[in-house]
Amino acid sequence: MTSNLEKVMANLSDSERDRLRGAFATDPELAEGLSTMLADLSPDIQAQLMRRLAARLESTALGGGALVPALADVIQDALERSEREDG
């Protein structure tokens, strides 16, 4: 896992961090990509997305690629929220 992700996760709860670390350990390449994607976002948005990702993963068994659909859900939710706020 990247140091950027570790910084973003520093303010999360222990259970959220553990959940995300477990997911990133199963897919390090995805963790790298997510770190790159988050780099241009504000710290508040980064933390918000990571909290939402951790919440999605809480209701999903880790392994078998659980991180990808959970991340897709979080991104889709963020896009829909943004569209509602803009229009």
Write down the pLDDT at residue 41: 83
56's CB contacts (< 8 A; 6+ apart) are 70, 71, 73, 74
pLDDT in tens, 11-61: 899 999 998 888 888 888 888 888 888 888 888 888 888 888 888 888 776
Nearest partner of 19 among 29, 28, 9, judged by Cα: 9
pLDDT band, residue 68 (cuts 50/70/90) = confident
Query: Is this structure's pTM higher than 0.85?
Result: no
Residues 61 and 84: their CA atoms lie apart, in Å, by 31
Write down the pLDDT at residue 85: 77
